[in-house]
A and B are shown apart, each in its own frame.
Chain A
Amino acid sequence: MFQKKRITVVYTVSRCDSCETDNKERFVSGDYVYKRFDCAKCDGKAVIYGIFGQEEIVQ
């Protein structure tokens, strides 16, 4: 009934060196690799280490 299809989802991988938190989130316009931003969990700075596309199957 529902056809499955492959789509490419763009993710960003970031890490905060202060609280050692790794994050994998959906890409948001304005993101770029090695962008520094305020960590949501501590006062430290997090860095985006990678932006890549991953194929996913959706209905």
Chain B
Amino acid sequence: MNLTEFDELLSFGDDTSTLMMLVWVLPLILFVFYGQRIQLLITSYEIKKEIKKLNDFGVQSIKETLAYVDKLPGADSLAKQNIESMIDYFVVPPQDMDTSGIVPKVRAVLWNKESYTRNRIETILSQANEVERARVQTLLEISSTLKMIHKVVSHLYLTAKKQKNYPLILPLQMELPFVMEQAEALRDGMTAFTEGQPVGDGIGPAVVGYMMCNIPHKPISYKMIYAESEIEGRRTILLKPKGPEPVTGKPDEALKSIIKQYDIDVIIMVDAALKMEGEESGSVYRGFGAAIGGSGVERFGIEEIATKNNIPIFCVVIKQSIKESISLMTDTIYKSIPVSIRHIQDTIVENTSQDDTVLVIGVGNTGGVAQ
């Protein structure tokens, strides 16, 4: 067949050719009636690959947690079995039809889970020290989160597939890259917690820990410590979670106790903050308001106390990505410590007078960061 015959067969330029009509019309009909299913098949393939990855992350994290437990004194197979059973613990959030008074309920539920898990680990691993037990608790939290992410993504995918409903899979397809980023960060963060290394989120406690270095400190409220110092002639109370165990403490409870002891004029909070795309990691910014993440319970508590006592809250934040915040601290973030201290000093000088008392709170996970 030469080119002319081929051209005649397809009748390029002639819209009335039957073969040409089939070539154009058949796919059109196919896409009109089965377009969504074809898209569903293509999207499903991509999502299925990510679900497999998420499953592997979950399985791997449980293995790593149990491997860590295995190294601890007094950890036998029963202890490992008991620890593994705690991965499936979950929290039922309080009913929020009437939002008034919901914060104490959320606080109670979360505290109940936290203290129960801690006590259970203490019973199972009675020969391990406090730092090791706190690490197990953090590793359990990560494994549990990874397993839950896998479960939720799988559920959304299987529901869309079962219903053969393409629009149902769209939100999942849009959210999945962000979910994967978080899951990968959690997986990478496991090693840092196992080894007792600081993570990016620990920059707040690291900054306050630096200011606290060589000053005697005292415990105050749950897993929190404070020290009295002087910055630019102002009495400064430094508050941070008690390291190097990976805990965040209870800064709101600590603030409640400190307010009873001191007449605080200004609160400065130092914390890691999520950077926007294009922003540099480790860049330091100053702002207003309570810089603290988590469930929101601590933030609510701090804001409530500050408002009641008419104390302004300032914040110094160190920008980083979600991945950096839960994996090993990078040198860029570490180098932000002196810059953050300079910002704290400037905030103190600009907003207080000589006889004022300032409270500086280092917020974040203090794993691998003592004082």
Contacts and interface: CB of A to CB of B under 8 A. Distances in A.
Q: Which 10 A-B pairs have the closest CB atoms?
A: A32-B244, A52-B334, A53-B328, A34-B370, A33-B369, A52-B331, A50-B334, A52-B329, A32-B368, A54-B331
A36 to B, nearest CB: 9
Interface stretch (B53-61, B150-158, B206-214, B247-255): B206-214
Interface string B198-223: 10001000100110010000000000
Interface in A23-57: 27, 29-35, 47, 49-54
| Chain A interface residue number, banded | 10 to 19
A53 B330 contact: yes
Contacts, number: 62
B241 interface: no
A13 B152 CA distance: 42
B197 A10 contact: yes
A53 to B, nearest CB: 4
B38 to A, nearest CB: 39
Given A10-B197, A51-B197, A33 B209 contact: yes
A33 B368 contact: yes
Nearest to B212: A34
A8 interface: yes
Nearest to B367: A32
Interface string B317-334: 000000000001111011
5 contacts: A29-B195, A35-B370, A50-B334, A53-B330, A54-B330
A51 B198 contact: yes
A52 B333 CA distance: 8
Given A34-B370, A51-B197, A10 B206 contact: no
B243 interface: yes
B210 A49 contact: yes
Interface of A: 8, 10-11, 13, 27, 29-35, 47, 49-54
Contacts of A27: 195, 197
B369 A52 contact: no
A32 to B, nearest CB: 4
Contacts of A51: 197-198, 329, 334, 368
B71 to A, nearest CB: 11
A13 to B, nearest CB: 8
A32 B370 contact: yes
B301 interface: no
Interface string B339-371: 000000000000000000000000000001111
Given A34-B370, A35-B244, A54-B331, 6 more contacts: A10-B328, A33-B206, A33-B368, A51-B198, A53-B329, A53-B331
A28 B356 CA distance: 42
B337 interface: yes
B243 to A, nearest CB: 7
A34 B371 contact: yes
Given A32-B244, A34-B369, A34-B371, A52 B209 contact: no
A37 B197 CA distance: 17
Nearest to A47: B213
Nearest to B337: A50
A10 B370 CA distance: 18
A55 B244 CA distance: 24
A52 B368 CA distance: 11
Contacts of A29: 195-196
B55 to A, nearest CB: 25
Given A49-B210, A53-B330, A32 B369 contact: yes
A4 to B, nearest CB: 20
A32 B196 contact: yes
A33 B328 contact: no
A30 B370 CA distance: 12
